[in-house]
Chains A and B, each alone.
Chain A
């Protein structure tokens, strides 16, 4: 028997709360790394793990059914699946998870992978109108795709982050009239800053989107329980029979309210090895976290705690967390992956590496915005911190290397397709509070260009 087995790392009971991408990949990694004990996955949706990115793309375009988006397993999993029941509490002293149906699941080690949910429209009566949708779950996407199939006269998208922009794109591709309302001054500025956001404004308008920035939707109107339209902060009104609420995400941490862990609206705080902190800032050794719900320190971003709602982060962090759950201290690994994400909208592939909001300047380093083929490189205080490509993904790994090595900003000359007259300009990252949509990268420490610290009580 190895020492790992004697100290219980390869056996015992592991509970994973959250049965989506992060939970699944963590479970598979645990088995890959030789965990032989009892493994239980808890998921509040009554479905086996499925992939969410296609829901706002292929599914809304009618190219795939929402129910077809199941995730392939990487390996066989000897696990118990408790699906369709949510976790309601955690007893850290008794080391058990409490489920909504009253069952208590004892654990030796716990992984929190509860992710996020769609931020609902804030007025429940209006949110309940027929024709008002969010896009987060498979059922959400299925209902919205059905509503789009019916050929609504106009779709209102509230919030122009990535999800909202992808929904608007799918609507235009289906030939539907669409209005997008965004409180910020441009689409995507929460993730990419105002300079690239201005480019996205032109893109959306060129595709026939009725884009209204600098306004908020003040009320959704209905008749007979059905949505009929909306009112805006500028006093205007709109008739619409479908509204898609794309206000960003809420982290699923309420069930941890009495757990004594550092869990709150901004996520569950952990160390670089995915070990969760208590509310006193003391690190635990039996509770781990991964995926959208985690906030973790990242060395590339001055060890600020960041939370990433990214597919790739869910996978990478789950693998690190699982490895650390079954490895003794010296063999544990930090989660250092450079953040990256993608979107496809209006026939374009948009990809990002680094954290574009962690910047003060941006420059078009290759290509041209007019051609809709470009590489935008972001810098913060003279070093490269992010890059975004539009239909130029083959160059992205070059910029990832520059980010990893803290290369100077702006990038040096020499790129064959660099337009000479483009100089760095302010990246114009807004305060997240001015946005309709929540940013998908939350620097939960401070924003780099204004030393802003948010203090939230409790946790």
Chain B
């Protein structure tokens, strides 16, 4: 499972950090850092974080193109 955060939308409410502190991190007061490849056992946390994002900035999904045969 992969995540990407639209940091143009992000306003630093940090709900994702509260709900999935192994994946999301505040660097200083507002800058959000995250692990794009969701670590094992963190899927549920990440889905909760994504649901709770007040600006709906978190996209969660499988690697794009991962379902297709790649030449």
> Which residues of A (29-52) have their CB < 8 Å from a CB of B?
41, 48-49, 51
1/0 per residue, CB under 8 A from A, across B35-71: the answer is 1110000000000000000000001111111111111
Which chain B residues border A28 with CB–CB below 8 Å? Answer: 64
Does A81 count as interface, using CB distance less than 8 angstroms? Answer: yes
Of B2, B69, B70, B71, which one neighbours A71 at CB under 8 angstroms?
Answer: B2
Closest Cβ neighbor of B35 among chain A residues: A64
Q: Contact between A81 and B8 (Cβ–Cβ < 8 Å)?
A: no
The answer to whether A48 and B63 touch (CB under 8 A), given A64-B35, A83-B70, A342-B8, is yes
How many residues of chain B are within 8 Å of chain A by beta carbon?
A: 35
Of B1, B64, B69, B70, which one neighbours A24 at CB under 8 angstroms?
Answer: B64
In the complex, the number of residue pairs spanning A and B with C-beta atoms less than 8 Å apart equals 129
The stretch that binds B, out of A233-241, A264-272, A345-353, is A345-353
The answer for the CA separation of A51 and B65 in the assembled complex, in Å, is 14
The answer to whether A344 and B33 touch (CB under 8 A), given A63-B25, A82-B71, A83-B70, is yes
How many residues of chain A are within 8 Å of chain B by beta carbon?
A: 47
Q: Contact between A72 and B27 (Cβ–Cβ < 8 Å)?
A: no
Instruction: Please provide the 5 A-B residue pairs with the shortest distance between their CB atoms, ordered closest to farther.
Output: A72-B61, A344-B31, A347-B28, A68-B37, A73-B64
Given A71-B4, A77-B67, A351-B7, list of 11 further CB < 8 A pairs?
A48-B63, A48-B70, A51-B36, A63-B25, A64-B34, A73-B64, A79-B68, A311-B7, A347-B31, A349-B31, A394-B12
List 11 A-B residue pairs with CB atoms under 8 Å apart, sorted by A's residue number: A48-B63, A48-B70, A49-B65, A65-B37, A70-B37, A72-B2, A72-B59, A73-B64, A74-B64, A312-B6, A341-B8
User: Which residues of B does A touch, CB under 8 Å?
Assistant: 1-4, 6-8, 10-12, 25, 27-37, 59-71
